[in-house]
C-alpha cells in the first residue's frame, strides 16, 4: 500500500528521494557531533572555571602543597628492591554542600568512609604510599575495629588515677596504634581532611597536579561520595537562613564533572578508578559502563548500597569482574585491592613499551 511504501522509504536511505542526502549526511553528522563536543568541552571548562572562581580559597593550600611535595619526593626514591613506590590517592567519605556562608546547614552525601579507610590499609600492605583525602570525622585507617567512643570504652583509670587499656581491648588498641604509627612515621601515609565540596575539589586538584611528576606510578581511587549539586559561594546567603516560611527556596547548581578534568588535564598519565553507587541494582552495571566511557576511567567499581561490603563489580574496557569477600570476617577490599594493584602494574608496563 501507499503508506507501506512511505515507511520503507523513510527507513531506506537508498530510496531515490534520499539519494542526494546520502553523501552529505555522514559528514554533516560528523561536523555536527564535533561542534557539539567542542561546545560540551567549552561548557565544561566554563563551569569548572566558575566553580573554582567562586570557591572560598583554601586557607592552608601552601602547607598542603609542601606536605605533598615532601611525601611524593620521599616515596619516589628507590626502595630496597630498587623500585620507587607507587602512590595512590584514596578519597573517602562524603562532601558537604553548604547552604550558608557562615554555615549552620548543609546538604551531605552518604559515606561512612569505611571503604576508603579499609582500602588504605590494603594499599599500604600492597606496598603503596597513600594520600588519604578524607572527610573530617569519617572512618580512619587502622581504627575501624575500635568501638564508637574509643577513649572512654578502651581505657580506664587505675587505682592511682593513671590510665590503662582495658583488657578486652588491649590487642585491638595496640594493633591500631602500632600499625598507624608505622605507616605515618614511616612516611607512607599522608592524611588530608576535607569538609565541603569546595575544599574537596581544590585539594584533589592540588594532589593531582603534585602527582603529575610520577606519571603512571600514580593511582586515583575515588571512593568519596561527591556532591552532585552545590550553591555557588557568591549566590549563598551569608547568615543562617531564618525559619518562618514553609518553603525553603535554595537554587542548587550542578557540580561540574571533574572526573574528566582529572583524567585529561590534572593527571593524564595516572591510573584512575572511580566508584559508581546505586540503590537499584538493575541499573548499576549500565551506569558503571556509562561512567567508564564518559570519564575515560581505567576502571569503575560498581556497588549497590546494601551489599557494598560483600561484593563489588570491577568494570574495565575488556572485563567485568565480580569481587566477593571470602567470608563474613574478611573484607571485600582485600581481593579488590589485589586486583587493582595487578592491573596498575600491567598499566605501568604497557605504558613504558
Binding site for ligand 9Z3 (CB under 6 A): 111-115, 223, 225-226, 274-277, 303, 308
What DSSP assignment string belongs to 83-105?
PPPPEEEEEESB-EEESBSS-S-
CA–CA–CA angle 283, 300, 269 (5° rounding): 150
For the bound state, the minimum distance from the C-beta of residue 70 to ligand 9Z3, rounded and expressed in Å, comes to 28
For the bound state, the minimum distance from the C-beta of residue 135 to ligand 9Z3, rounded and expressed in Å, comes to 9
Identity of the residue, 205 or 303, whose beta carbon is nearer to ligand 9Z3 in the bound complex = 303
For the bound state, the minimum distance from the C-beta of residue 18 to ligand 9Z3, rounded and expressed in Å, comes to 41
CA atoms within 13 A on the CB side of 181: 6
For the bound state, the minimum distance from the C-beta of residue 277 to ligand 9Z3, rounded and expressed in Å, comes to 3
Q: How far is CA 189 from the centre of its chain?
A: 18
For the bound state, the minimum distance from the C-beta of residue 226 to ligand 9Z3, rounded and expressed in Å, comes to 5
Identity of the residue, 85 or 114, whose beta carbon is nearer to ligand 9Z3 in the bound complex = 114
Identity of the residue, 173 or 312, whose beta carbon is nearer to ligand 9Z3 in the bound complex = 312
Helices (H) and strands (E) in the chain, counts: 10, 14
What DSSP assignment string belongs to 270-326?
SEEEEEEEES-HHHHHHHHHHHHHHHT-SEEEEEEGGGTTTEEEEE-SS-EEEEE-S
Which of 346, 319, 345, 347 has the alpha carbon at shortest distance from 126?
345
Residue 242, C-beta contacts closer than 8 angstroms, at least 6 positions apart: none
Measured between alpha carbons, how far is 57 from 76 in angstroms, rounded to an integer? 29
DSSP, collapsed to helix, strand or coil, labels residue 257 as: coil
**Beta carbons of 144 and 175 less than 8 angstroms apart:** no
For the bound state, the minimum distance from the C-beta of residue 1 to ligand 9Z3, rounded and expressed in Å, comes to 49
For the bound state, the minimum distance from the C-beta of residue 231 to ligand 9Z3, rounded and expressed in Å, comes to 19
Amino acid at each position: 500500500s501507499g503508506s507501506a511504501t512511505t515507511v520503507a522509504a523513510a527507513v531506506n536511505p537508498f530510496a531515490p528521494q534520499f539519494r542526494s542526502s546520502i553523501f552529505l549526511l555522514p559528514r554533516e553528522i560528523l561536523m555536527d557531533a564535533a561542534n557539539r563536543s567542542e561546545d560540551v568541552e567549552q561548557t565544561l571548562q566554563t563551569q569548572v572555571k566558575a566553580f573554582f572562581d567562586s570557591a572560598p580559597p583554601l586557607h592552608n593550600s601552601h602547607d598542603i602543597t609542601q606536605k605533598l611535595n615532601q611525601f611524593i619526593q620521599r616515596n619516589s626514591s628507590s626502595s630496597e628492591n630498587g623500585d620507587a613506590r607507587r602512590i595512590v590517592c584514596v578519597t573517602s567519605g562524603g562532601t558537604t554542600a553548604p547552604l550558608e556562608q557562615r554555615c549552620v546547614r548543609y546538604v551531605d552525601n552518604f559515606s561512612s568512609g569505611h571503604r576508603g579507610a579499609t582500602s588504605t590499609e590494603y594499599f599500604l600492605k600492597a606496598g603503596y604510599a597513600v594520600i588519604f583525602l578524607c572527610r573530617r570525622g569519617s572512618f580512619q585507617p587502622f581504627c575501624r575495629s575500635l568501638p564508637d567512643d574509643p577513649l572512654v570504652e578502651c581505657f580506664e583509670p587505675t587505682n592511682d588515677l593513671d590510665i590503662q587499656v582495658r583488657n578486652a581491648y588491649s590487642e585491638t588498641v595496640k594493633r591500631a596504634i602500632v600499625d598507624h604509627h608505622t605507616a605515618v612515621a614511616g612516611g607512607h601515609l599522608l592524611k588530608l581532611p576535607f569538609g565541603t565540596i569546595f575544599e574537596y575539589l581544590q585539594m584533589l586538584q592540588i594532589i593531582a597536579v603534585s602527582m603529575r611528576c610520577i606519571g603512571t606510578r600514580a593511582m586515583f581511587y575515588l571512593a568519596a561520595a561527591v556532591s552532585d549539586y552545590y550553591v555557588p559561594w557568591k549566590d549563598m546567603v551569608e547568615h543562617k537562613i531564618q525559619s518562618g516560611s514553609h518553603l525553603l527556596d535554595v537554587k542548587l547548581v550542578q557540580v561540574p564533572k571533574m572526573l574528566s578534568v582529572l583524567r585529561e588535564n590534572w593527571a593524564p598519565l595516572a591510573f584512575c578508578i572511580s566508584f559508581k553507587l546505586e540503590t537499584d541494582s538493575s541499573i548499576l552495571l549500565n551506569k558503571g559502563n556509562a561512567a567508564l566511557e564518559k570519564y575515560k576511567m581505567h576502571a569503575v567499581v560498581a556497588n549497590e548500597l546494601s551489599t557494598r561490603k560483600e561484593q563489588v563489580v570491577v568494570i574495565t574496557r575488556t572485563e567485568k569482574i565480580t569481587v566477593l569477600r571470602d567470608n563474613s570476617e574478611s573484607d571485600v577490599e582485600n581481593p579488590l585491592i589485589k586486583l587493582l594493584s595487578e592491573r596498575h602494574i600491567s598499566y605501568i608496563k604497557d605504558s613504558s613499551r
